[in-house]
Structure 1
Amino acid sequence: MKIAFYGSSLLSAYWNGAATYYRGMLCELARRGYDVTFYEPDAFDRQQHRDIDPPDWAKVVVYPATEAGLRAVMACAPDADVVVKASGVGVFDDELIEGVMARARPDAVRIFWDVDAPATLAGLRDDPRQPLGRVLPHLDMVLTYGGGPPVVSAYESLGARVCRPIYNALDPSTHHPVATDLRFAGDLNFLANRLPDREERVERFFLQPAARSPQRRFLIGGSGWDDKPMPDNVRRVGHVGTGDHNAFNCSGLAVLNVARDSMADVGFSPATRVFEAAGAGACLITDAWEGIELFLNPGEEVLVARDGRDVAEHLETLSPERARAIGEAARQRILTEHTYARRAAEADTLIREQVAAKRERSVA
Structure 2
Amino acid sequence: MKQLNIVFFGLSITSSWGNGHATTFRSLIKALNRRGHQVTFFERDVPWYANHRDMPEPAFCQTVLYQELAELDKHRELINDADFIILGSYTPDAAALTDLIEKVSAPCFAFYDIDTPVTLAKLAKEECEYLTADDISRFDLYLSFTGGPTLEFLEQKYGARCAKPLYCSVDPELYYPEKDTERKYDLGYLGTYSDDRQPTVEELLLQPARQQSSLQMHVAGAQYPESVSWPANVLHSEHIPPHLHRHFYNEQRFTLNVTRQDMIRAGYSPSVRLFEAAACGTPIISDVWSGIDEFFSINDEILLARTHSDVTRYLNMSNAERATLGDNLRQKVLAHHTSEHRAQELENYWYELVAIDESVASVAAQ
Q: Distance in 2 between matches of 1:177 and 1:75?
A: 44
Summarize the Cα distance change of 1:74–1:14 in structure 2 as closer, same or farther, 3 Å threshold.
farther
Q: What residue in structure 2 maps to residue 215 of structure 1?
A: 214
Deviation at 1:278, TM superposition (A): 0.6
Of the candidates 9, 16, 21, which is equivalent to residue 18 of structure 1? 21
CA deviation string 1:139-193 (max 9, x = no partner)? 1010112x222210111011001001022222111111115657x8421110011
In the alignment, is the contact (CA less than 8 A) between 1:84 and 1:112 conserved in 2?
yes
Q: Distance in 2 between matches of 1:340 and 1:114?
A: 17
The answer to whether 1:82 aligns with 2:84 is yes
In the alignment, is the contact (CA less than 8 A) between 2:148 and 2:291 conserved in 1?
no
The answer to whether 1:344 aligns with 2:357 is no
Query: 1:34 corresponds to which letter in structure 2?
Result: H
Q: What residue in structure 2 maps to residue 92 of structure 1?
A: 93
Deviation at 1:298, TM superposition (A): 1.5
Q: Distance in 1 between matches of 2:128 and 2:198?
A: 30
Q: What residue in structure 2 maps to residue 296 of structure 1?
A: 296
Summarize the Cα distance change of 1:39–1:67 in structure 2 as closer, same or farther, 3 Å threshold.
closer
TM-score normalised by L of structure 2 = 0.89
Secondary structure of 1:355 counterpart:
helix
Q: What residue in structure 1 maps to residue 251 of structure 2?
A: 251
TM-score normalised by L of structure 1 = 0.89
Q: What residue in structure 2 maps to residue 119 of structure 1?
A: 118
Q: Distance in 1 between matches of 2:40 and 2:135?
A: 22
Deviation at 1:49, TM superposition (A): 2.7
Secondary structure of 1:49 counterpart:
coil
In the alignment, is the contact (CA less than 8 A) between 1:83 and 1:100 conserved in 2?
no
Q: What residue in structure 1 maps to residue 279 of structure 2?
A: 279
CA RMSD of aligned residues (A): 2.5
Deviation at 1:239, TM superposition (A): 1.2
Q: Distance in 2 between matches of 1:280 and 1:153?
A: 34
In the alignment, is the contact (CA less than 8 A) between 1:128 and 1:134 conserved in 2?
no
Q: Distance in 1 between matches of 2:347 and 2:46?
A: 30
Q: Distance in 1 between matches of 2:252 and 2:37?
A: 39
Aligned length in residues: 357
Deviation at 1:32, TM superposition (A): 2.8
The answer to whether 1:172 aligns with 2:168 is no
Q: What residue in structure 2 maps to residue 54 of structure 1?
A: 57
Q: Distance in 1 between matches of 2:127 and 2:221?
A: 34
Summarize the Cα distance change of 1:5–1:196 in structure 2 as closer, same or farther, 3 Å threshold.
farther
Deviation at 1:114, TM superposition (A): 0.5
Q: What residue in structure 2 maps to residue 331 of structure 1?
A: 330
CA deviation string 1:189-220 (max 9, x = no partner)? 10011234433333333333333333312211
CA deviation string 1:42-76 (max 9, x = no partner)? 33633333333523321111223x56557777896
Quick one: percent identity of the two aligned structures? Answer: 31
